[in-house]
Amino acid sequence: MQLKTYQEDAIEELLAKAKRLIDYAGEKKLVFKSPTGSGKTIMMAEFLKQMIDDRNVRQFLSFIWTAPRQLHIQSRDKLERYFEESRALKCSFFEDLDDRKIGENEILFFNWESINKADNVYIRDNEQDFNVSKVLERTREEGREIILVIDEAHHHATSDISQRLIRDIGPKLTIEVSATPVITDEDEKVNVHLEEVKTEGMIKKAVILNDQFINLLKHGKIKTQLSGSSEELIIDAALKKRNELLKAYQKEKSHINPLVLIQLPDRIGSLEDRMKDKVIAILKNKYHISTEKGNNKLAIWLSGEHVNKEDVERNDSEVEVLIFKQAIALGWDCPRAQILVLFRQWHSPIFSIQTVGRIMRMPEPDHGHYSTDILNYGYVYTNLDNIDIKEDMARNYITIYTSRRKPEYNPIDLLSFFSRRHREKTRLSPLFIEMFLKEAEEYKLKKKLNIKDKKLDLAIISDWKAENIDALAGQKVVGDKAITASAEDLQKLFDYFVRKHLTPFHPEDRSVGRVKESIYRYFDQGLKMDYGEKGEEIIQIVLSNKNIQHFINVIDTTKQSYQKETRKREPELGSIENWNVPESLSFGSNYLKEDKNISIMMPFYSDERWRTEKAFIEYLEKSDKIIWWFKNGDRDATFFAVPYDNGGKKPFYVDFIVQFKDGRIGLFDTKAGFTQILAGPKIDGLFHYIQAGNKKGKHLFGGIVTNTDSRNYNGRWLYFDKTRKELRANDFSNWMNLEI
């Protein structure tokens, strides 16, 4: 997979802090806090791979990965798949260990509850001396340090359990990996922010509570229109939303079949059975959704009862509804799950980020967010009363208010812009291959190569700390005899060589692949040597004593040229030809409802952060020349933006869009005091956008807008419709009166 920018940044920070901590005396703790759906396991896998490849890590390392319940099995499978090609680390359970010890660059996976059970086979003494303490003893006898990873510690693992794990294992470094960590006395912390994960389209923009129903916030508790409603009504609302989402996916030409999760109370006894039977009856009798053969639209995942669950995670699975319990679902990922149903018998009215974790992921993370915005949200339907949102990431992620566009709205079809993600500065794009071939030609690489020399450079081998180094080197090199190595060993050496010379770019697999592809392409085009037929020979030539430095030189000059070129390139802006006011917007509990008559969004919600905006809205509300106004947002393609130049093209999200009765559209951005001067590039961007739009028949006007009384807003409202060259500090003589 291609790592996201925030993932690369987190891996780089983890590596730097981990390297620093293991150089200190004593046992150290590192907390890695990252939201659900951010790819924590993949980031950890890449971090571990880079750590053992890093030449500055002098210690020999073994790893232990602990997780609750059966999550360690899932984690082991994920990491084993990630290391499948590189074979960087070996992933093992207790029974897989050779000689009853953890090898160098080997990860031992086990379930953390087992370490607290004295009668557990891995804890108690036995005749074979095969338990945790003996395994650790043998591992340390061979001079290796232990790094302990505590995964998802927030699930039933109190800080006491974490401390006991650390005390019993005695690792050089402990890394806690969680969305909500429990270790509080850490030496270092790495934090991935929720906004970064949303921006990359890995998770949904927000989770909406009881969409289409009224929610009120009173004394910190959420009262909802659905409180106390029947289970049937809740299911009706959820399935209606599912059908709406299905049509939207079909419009996007995506084969996602959105899944509804119905979570039963996490209790044992007749209540669960009665609730399950009631839900099954509603689904079958009213919606023809059942587990019956030929239907298969319902799956059940309860203790001792697994029905139609086999392929439920597949994006195009025919299962539409899954009945489950939280206890069974720990660590389970199903990105097409988008609607969660909770009944009032649920164990707690407190919502945390863990509550909605199952519906946070985007089903196609490489695609990111969709142009049809309702697909970018998760939905919770519940008849719980007095809902409380925990003060964690959920406070800003779970939205309780929805504002909708008035039905009398007529399209305005504006050209709008948004930023595309620009990663070429941290990773290599296909441009690198093209530049490598050009640099190789200028370097006259073909004339300098000795393609008959295939003796591997011993320096590259001695640098490579690999488990099978003795097997790779074979016998000592005598005279002209070349080292013999398997195809797999050669590929490992080649990967190591490329990673070693990638700095300052992230040594993630995609960038490594670009460099390797550049070299293969050079041999194919310049020397008529096809990689498919002569791959081993090509690698031997590249890594040979007489040739290796030439390839280092060409890679180095190509990196320099690539950096210069990517610095010159402006961040790419995407555009929407016919932008219109969104049909609906969602807001969290920090927003307040306000009565506004001509806002196009009803109700209007405000966070009341800016006094200038609030005063301007009051001025707009008094107008008899306006049909509607829209308070714009400042993110992605959902909201309206014009391009401006500030060392590269960027989107400028103007504060207000106003539809006048005479057909004009006003574009206004409120500014006060010195911010007027700071807005210079944006002023020019908005000016040129309005000029260009009017040439195409639009009726646009506007600019930055301010009040001559910046303290009480009792003065005149003015707007500046010129370029920044004509803007003068504390001089409004060339501003226009905004008469509305």
- What DSSP character marks residue 118? T
DSSP 8-state secondary structure symbol assigned to residue 571: P
Looking at the fold, whether 389 and 438 belong to one and the same domain comes out as no
The torsion angles phi and psi of 665, rounded to 5 degrees, stand at -115, 125
Q: Is residue 12 in a domain?
A: yes
CATH number at residue 207: 3.40.50
pLDDT of residue 293: 86
What is the DSSP-derived secondary structure letter of residue 387? B
CA dihedral defined by 580, 581, 586, 587, rounded to 10 degrees?
Answer: 140
- Put residue 77 in one of left, alpha, beta given phi > 0 → left and psi -120 to 50 → alpha: alpha
Residues 6+ apart with CB under 8 A from 92: 102, 106, 107, 108, 109
Cis previous bond, 603, omega within 30:
yes
**Which of 53, 36, 42, 54 is CA-nearest to residue 11?**
42
Q: φ, ψ for residue 347 (rounded to 5)? A: -70, -20
Do residues 381 and 511 share a domain?
no
Query: Do the domain assignments include residue 342?
Result: yes
Tokens linked to 721:
């419709």
Q: What tokens appear for 68 in the block?
A: 């609750």
The interaxial angle of helices 270-287 and 231-251, nearest 10 deg, is 50
CATH classification of the domain holding 93 = 3.40.50.300
> Are residues 601 and 476 part of one domain?
no
Q: Which long-range contacts (CB under 8 A, 24 or more apart) does 546-550 make?
A: 546/450, 546/453, 547/449, 547/450, 547/453, 548/457, 548/460, 548/497, 550/443, 550/445, 550/448, 550/449
CA distance 196 to 490: 38
Question: What sign does the CA torsion over 227, 232, 236, 238 have?
Answer: positive
Distance CA(361)–CA(358), nearest Å, equals 7
Domain end marker among 518, 538, 568: 568
Residues 115 and 149 in one domain: yes
Whether 234 and 373 map to the same domain: the answer is yes
Query: Can you tell me whether residue 487 is helix, strand or coil?
Result: helix
What SS3 string covers 636-658? CCCCCCEEEECCCEEEECCCEEE
Whether the Cβ atoms of residue 519 and residue 433 lie closer than 8 Å to each other? no
The reply to whether 549 falls in a domain is: yes
Residues 11 and 91 placed together within one structural domain of the fold:
yes
Domain boundary among 507, 536, 568: 568
In a domain, 20, yes or no: yes
In this structure, is the dihedral angle defined by the CA atoms of residues 379, 383, 384 and 388, taken in order, positive or negative? positive
pLDDT at 393: 59
Burial of 500: CB neighbours in 10 Å, binned 0-12, 13-18, 19+: middle
If asked whether residues 219 and 148 sit together in one domain, one would say no
Looking at the structure, tell me whether residues 561 and 603 fall in a common domain. Answer: no
Q: Residues 143, 221: one domain?
A: no
User: Of 510, 545, 568, which one is at a domain's C-terminal end?
Assistant: 568
Question: Mean pLDDT of residues grouped by 10 in the chain (740 residues)?
Answer: 82 93 94 91 93 84 89 88 86 88 93 62 53 87 93 66 79 92 90 90 91 79 82 94 97 95 76 84 95 92 84 93 73 87 72 78 89 92 81 72 94 92 66 92 92 73 47 36 62 85 79 89 89 85 90 94 76 85 89 93 89 93 96 91 86 96 96 64 94 95 91 91 86 90
Q: How far apart are CA 492 and CA 504, in angstroms?
A: 21
Evaluate whether 176 touches 182 at the Cβ level (below 8 Å).
yes
Helix H or strand E encompassing 587: strand 584-587
- Measure the CA–CA gap between 428 and 447, rounded to whole angstroms: 27
How, if at all, do strands 584-587 and 401-405 pair?
A: antiparallel
Query: What is the 3-state secondary structure of 541-564?
Result: HHCECCCHHHHHHHHHHHHHHHHH
CA distance 96 to 73: 13
What per-residue confidence (pLDDT) applies to 505?
Answer: 82
| In a domain? residue 421 | no
51, 18 Cβ separation under 8 angstroms: yes
DSSP letters of 433-462? HHHHHHHHHHHTHHHH--TT--PBPHHHHH
Residues 557 and 612 in one domain: no
Helix (H) or strand (E) holding 627: strand 626-631
Cα 630 versus chain centre, distance: 30
Which residues span the domain enclosing 671?
A: 575-737
Beta-strand ranges (E) seen in 206-274 are: 206-209, 215-218, 221-224, 259-263
| Pick from 739, 700, 697: nearest CA to 718 | 739
Residue 586 and residue 553 in one domain: no
CB 298 within 8 A of CB 308: yes
Return d(Cα 413, Cα 577) in angstroms, integer.
7
Work out the end-to-end distance of the chain between its first and last CA atoms, rounded to an integer number of angstroms.
Answer: 54
Q: What are 638's strand-pairing partners?
A: none
Q: How many helices (H) and strands (E) does the chain have?
A: 20, 34
What are the Cα distances from residue 324, in Å, to 207, 213, 607? 20, 25, 37
Structural domain count, the chain: 4
What's the token pair of residue 399?
């939205």
pLDDT at 471: 37
Give the residue carrying structure tokens 């301007």.
616
Rounded (10°) angle between helices 487-500 and 509-527: 110
Residue 416 lies in a domain: no
Please count the other Cβ atoms lying within 10 Å of the Cβ belonging to residue 164: 15
3-state secondary structure 286-338: HHCCCCCCCCCCEEEEECCEEECCCCCCCCCCCCCEEEECCCCCCCCCCCCEE
CA 119 to each of CA 123, 126, 131, 302, 643: distance values in angstroms, whole numbers, following the listed order: 7, 11, 11, 28, 67
| Cis peptide preceding 571, ω within 30 of 0 | no
Query: Is residue 406 a part of any domain in this protein?
Result: no
DSSP 664-728: -EEEEEE--TTHHHHTHHHHHHHHHHHHHHHHTT--EEEEEEEES-TTT--S-EEEE-S-GGG--
60 Cβ contact list (under 8 Å, min separation 6):
104, 142, 143, 144, 145, 465
Task: Compute the Cα dihedral for 163, 71, 355, 362 and give only its sign.
Answer: positive
Report the half-sphere exposure of 446 (CA within 13 A, side-chain side): 12
Mark whether 469 and 591 lie in a shared domain: no
Query: Do the domain assignments include residue 588?
Result: yes
Instruction: Work out the number of other CB atoms within 10 angstroms of the CB of residue 58.
Output: 10
